[in-house]
Structure 1
Amino acid sequence: MACIQQVNGDYYGSKETVTEALPYVKKNAQYLASINNRLGIADKELSLYDDAILYYKKAVDGYTSPAGKQMSLNNIAVVYIQQKKYDKAIILLESLLNKKLLKEEAEEAKESIILDNLGYAYFKKGMDEKAFRLMDEALQIRKDDKDTYGSIESYLHLADYYSKKDLQKSDENALAAYNIATKLNSVDERLEALQILISNNHSSQDTKYVQKYFTLNDSIIKIRNNFKNKFAKIKYDSKKEKDENEKLRLEKAENQLFLQRAKYMRIVFVIVFVFLVILIAILIRYYKNKNKAIEFKTSYNTETRIAKKIHDELANDVFHVIAFAESQPLSQENTKENLLQKLDDIYGRVRGISKENNKIDTGVDFTRSIKEMLSTYNTRERNIMVTNLESVNWETIDDVKKIAISRILQELMVNMKKHSEANLVVIKFDSDPKSVLINYTDNGKGCEKTKMIKNGLQNMESRIQAVKGTIDFDTEPGKGFKAKISMPK
């Protein structure tokens, strides 16, 4: 693209475009050399001669082929001529001409370029005879090789040469250059030829050449401006299309990434869901087993307590009654009465144990059964006060929890009777939207928490845990005993 821009005279645009190529060369010396040579050509045409030489020298260092190096060195010599550094140009061009490369590779086209430029440098230096011979030789080589475009430069150089010696020959060479340049549509060379014809100052034709020059110059300015605009639009449209394609590619990639993520999330969701189902199943099984264990432990503790009570309170008495019956004459009235009293006492205690562990009415008579159970612990020396029992909506509470409440209250009363020596017991019932609350207080002797008798209390804790409730005990020596029960509805 930079080359096309240079052909159309857009040298600033050419520099901009070729600079865009730099990121693509990836330190490839041959490509980098070609870019530097193109930058050198642009700066030469823009009369930035020092910059042009700098780029040409970089190109020389970058080219690996002798032909590439030779081309850039020749370009440096041309810039030297433009700078009027003729001696430098001559030295450089002579060194190129003396190299065997030209003959060995049979590159007559390159030889004609160097011969023509060297002859022109000699001419500018004032060495006319040597100059003409080299420039004429170069023109003949170009004609023989049918290098029509190359011959334009030879005719222009010769026209300049003859402009100080023979104006007619100068015009002939300038016209030859003009005609070929017109045929090949090489505008810059046409303008250069017209400049020579105008400078030769033919009074009869001067106006014609001047008019042609200005018409051509105006035309080429318009054409090149249109080219610049058109080229800029093509680049813009190309960049826009490239950006849109890149945007579409990124959107496609994002969509694919989104779909992949969605697929991944679905897989993760399924895994997490399955994991949660398994975890929930394990937890349900665990808590069922735990509740079963608590229920088993509660039942076991109750059975153990009943067995201990039968053993401690009844077995010895039954043994003593048997021994009494065997050792005493039952025919005597007082002995018989004594035996009957002992048996009645045993029967009473059996009924008490049975009553403590009999079936609990959890229906409409639940509150009545609770009152009856608590009233059995009322004596002349002990007062049992129950408040707000009926204020709780017991119909909303399941039977298991009612049974647990009844057993816990019973065990509190047994514990109080055996250890507390209390003469006042207050049991207060209350409820909120979520729980049933029971506050137990007695004015017994209490004890240190570390020395609490744990059997009955452990039974209560096991029972309350089985229905996911809580029970807290509070006691100190001489300050009675308190228990606070909370059970979810």
Structure 2
Amino acid sequence: MATIQQINGDYYGSKETLTEALPLIKKKDIYSASINNFFGIADKELSIYTDAIYYYEQALKDCSDPVSKLGALNNIAVVYILQKKYDKAISLLERIIHTKTLDNKFLKSNKARVLDNLGYAYFKKGLNKKGLLLMNEGYKMREQNEDLYGSIESNLHLAEYYSNTEPENSNQYAESAYQIATKFNSIDERLKALSFIISNDSGTKTGEYAQKYVFLNDSIIKIRNNYKNKFAKIKYDSKKEKDENQKLRLEKAEDSLALQKAEYQRIFLTIGIASLFCLIAYLIKRHQNKTRLVEFKTAYATETRIAKDIHDELANDVFHAITYTQTQPLTSENSKETLLQKLNHIYSRVRGISRENSNVDTGSNYSVNLKEMLSTYNSSITNVIITNIEKVNWDSIEYEKKVTIYRVLQELMVNMKKHSEARLVVIKFDSKLNSVIIDYTDNGKGCDKSKIIKNGLQNMENRILATKGTITFDTQPDKGFKAKITLPK
């Protein structure tokens, strides 16, 4: 599923699906290597280069055969080139090209790719002659192997090489890349090839190519957005069908059990036992009514919170986006880009509200999910540091307390994001014999202790007290905010 999403350009959705696959991994093997490799691809395409290298290195550790290891090393080198760390890329690719593994006749396409990347790295470093020699060697090898798809990258690299010195040569390679990419319906490569042709200003056809570029760029944005919505609906419908089937099986099992009970009752039960069952049924009904009332109150509280979040966080943004479309000329590229940024910001807000109100997984993957939730508040402004979370034996902690910890920390992070303006947040976990201790510290603007209830922290205290725990706050204006949570195991 994650592969399909990446093919269609949905890299954030792909990472979510890959995260769902992680709990299914029982050992380090080709599957864990594949998952880490796809994480690396997604982060590379999203220009999150540090994370991409991390995941490629994890994939490298899980690879068991030399060919897979070479693929992971090549991917790391490609990211180094994107980071302009050409010396690192060259050193790594030189090491790959001199391995005996690439001498295998069945790995010529791999060798051609490494040669092309090595030549491109030399070219980007300024060693043009050596770079051109290697890129041409990789290109010829790809032609001999009839590796059409791989030759797209070679053509694009050569088009870039000649773009500043020999525009005609650059156009020839760019047009070749465009034709092959069109054959394979590879939109991103077509756009890159068109950008070279347009920048070279080849003449009368420049306007035609520019129109193609605009058309392709607009089309791919619409198609990928539609695909994301379609994929989300498919996943939702699939889960709904699965839940309904499971419910049907349970109902059938319950019906079968009820028939058996009825059969035994007709044989063995007396009028007195029947009366007892009536009493039990009454008590069960009463308990169910009480449970439904609690569930209703919980649902009402959740709906109220969501409604407040939507009103406070989204209403103004949506209004500004609507006003922008009514007052700005959307034919302008700058206007389109600004509108897309506004819509993407709104989309991120909606995702955040959804995440804050989703169910908490308290199973074996609890600590991973908790750490991931806290890490989502990392940003270019705020650095979140999480320590010693692995030292806590989460399996020994009750379900309700895990949910309480998750929600209280989530509320602390939301409160920090809305009010604190903190640049650094540190969350430290500690496990004693009979208790779990969590220390939260940030260097934000703090507040007056008397106004803590107004900032929504009273709700956290109520949650902790309900599980027989304690929470204390320490804050002063312009001196940060601290909280200490202690929960019995």
* TM score, norm. by length of structure 2: 0.53
Cα deviation digits, residues 317-351 of structure 1 (max 9, x gap) = xxxxxxxxxxxxxxxxxxxxxxxxxxxxxxxxxxx
Distance in 2 of aligned mates of 1:178 and 1:66: 34
Secondary structure of 2:104 counterpart: helix
Matches within 5 A, 1:437-476: none
Aligned to 1:227: 227
Q: Which letter maps to 1:163?
A: S
Q: Residue 239 of structure 2 corresponds to which residue in structure 1?
A: 239
Give the structure 2 partner of residue 133 of structure 1. Answer: 133
Cα distance per residue 1:423-458 (max 9 Å; x no partner): xxxxxxxxxxxxxxxxxxxxxxxxxxxxxxxxxxxx
Matches within 5 A, 1:183-222: 183-222=183-222
CA RMSD of aligned residues (A): 1.9
Who is 1:80 aligned against?
A: 80
1:185 aligns to what SS in structure 2?
Answer: coil
How far off its partner does 1:86 sit?
0.4
The answer for the alignment partner of 1:169 in structure 2 is 169
Q: Which residue of 2 aligns with 1:142?
A: 142
CA deviation after TM superposition for structure 1 residue 138, in Å: 0.9
Distance in 2, matches of 1:125 and 1:65, equals 32
Q: Percent identity of the aligned residues? A: 61
- What is the Cα deviation at residue 98 of structure 1? 0.8
In 2, the alpha carbon distance for the partners of 1:194 and 1:263 equals: 77
Structure 2 segments unaligned to the other structure (5+ residues): 274-489
Q: How far apart in 2 are the matches of 1:3 and 1:114?
A: 23
- Deviates most, 77-86 or 9-18: 9-18
1:401 aligned residue: none
Distance 1:217 1:103 in 2: 40
Aligned equivalent of 1:10: 10
The CA deviation at 1:28 is 4.5
Whole-angstrom distance in 1 between the partners of 2:253 and 2:53: 47
Distance 1:65 1:256 in 2: 53
Closer, same or farther in 2 for the Cα pair 1:252/1:47, shift >3 Å?
Answer: same
Change (3 A) 1:252 1:154: same
> Counterparts of 2:264 and 2:153 in 1: how far apart (Å)?
71
Alignment partner of 1:36 is 2:44: no
Any conservation in 1 of the 2:171–2:202 contact (CA below 8 Å)?
no
Q: Give the stretch that moved more between structures: 176-185 or 66-75.
A: 66-75
Displacement of 1:78 in angstroms is 0.5
- Higher gyration radius (CA): 1
Corresponding letter in the other structure for 2:84: K
- The residue type equivalent to 1:196 in the other structure is F
Amino acid of the structure 2 residue aligned with 1:208:
E
Q: 1:63 to 1:259 in 2, by over 3 A?
A: farther
- Look up the SS of the partner of 2:146 in the other structure: coil
2:252 partner letter: K
* 1:66 match: 66
Deviations 1:233-292 (A, max 9, x none): 11111111111112222222333443454456567649x99xxxxxxxxxxxxxxxxxxx
The CA deviation string for residues 189-238 of structure 1, in whole angstroms up to 9 with x for no partner, is 00000111122133533322221111110111111112112212111111
**Quick one: which amino acid aligns to residue 55 of structure 1?**
Y
Distance (whole Å) between structure 1 residues aligned to residue 214 and residue 134 of structure 2: 33
Give the counterpart letter for 1:114 in structure 2.
Answer: V
- Cα 1:28–1:264 change in 2 (3 A) is farther
Equivalent residue number for residue 455 of structure 1 = none
Aligned equivalents of 2:130, 2:265: Cα separation in 1:
86
Q: Which whole-Å CA distance do the structure 2 matches of 1:22 and 1:261 have between them?
A: 43
- Residues 36-86 of structure 1: CA deviation (Å, up to 9, x unaligned): 100110010000101111111110011112111111111111000000000
1:252 aligned residue: 252
After superposition, the Cα gap between the structure-2 partners of 1:260 and 1:120, relative to the gap in structure 1 and judged at 3 Å, is farther
User: CA offsets, 1:381-417, max 9 Å, x none?
Assistant: xxxxxxxxxxxxxxxxxxxxxxxxxxxxxxxxxxxxx
Q: How many residues align?
A: 272
Counterpart Cα distance in 1 of 2:241 and 2:43: 31
Inter-CA distance 267–152: structure 2 relative to 1 (3 Å threshold)? farther
- The separation in 2 between residues aligned to 1:83 and 1:52, in whole angstroms, is 11
> Kindly tell me: are residues 259 and 69 of structure 1, through their superposed partners in 2, closer, same or farther at Cα, counting changes over 3 Å?
farther
8 Å contact kept, 2:9–2:224: yes
Report the CA distance between 1:113 and its aligned residue.
0.8
The aligned residue for residue 112 of structure 1 is: 112
The residue number in structure 1 matching 2:46 is: 46
Q: 1:392-407 alignment to 2 at 5 Å?
A: none
Q: Which residue number in structure 1 is paired with residue 341 of structure 2? A: none
Structure 1 counterpart of 2:139, one-letter code = L
What is aligned with 2:27? 27
Distance 2:160 2:109 in 1: 22
Q: Secondary structure at the match of 2:185?
A: coil
How far 1:108 sits from its partner (Å)?
0.5
How far apart are 1:180 and its partner, in Å? 0.6
Range that drifts further, 195-204 or 37-46: 195-204
State the match for 2:57 in structure 1.
57
Q: Contact 2:198–2:206 at 8 Å: present in 1 too? A: yes
Residue type at the aligned position of 1:120: Y
Paired residue type of 2:175: L
Alpha-carbon distance change, 2 to 62 in structure 1, aligned in 2, over 3 angstroms: same
Give the deviation of 1:126 after TM superposition: 0.9
Separation in 2, partners of 1:175, 1:249: 59
Instruction: Note closer, same or farther for the CA distance 1:265–1:221 as it changes in structure 2 (3 Å cut).
Output: same
- The match for 1:413 is none
What secondary structure, in the 3-state scheme, does the structure 2 residue paired with 1:106 have? helix
Distance in 1 (CA, whole Å) between partners of 2:205 and 2:157 is: 22
Q: Quickly say closer, same or farther: Cα 1:250–1:182, change in 2 above 3 A.
A: same
SS for the counterpart of 2:202 is: coil
What code does the residue aligned with 1:240 have?
A: K
Tell me, which stretches of 5 or more residues in structure 1 are unaligned? Answer: 274-489
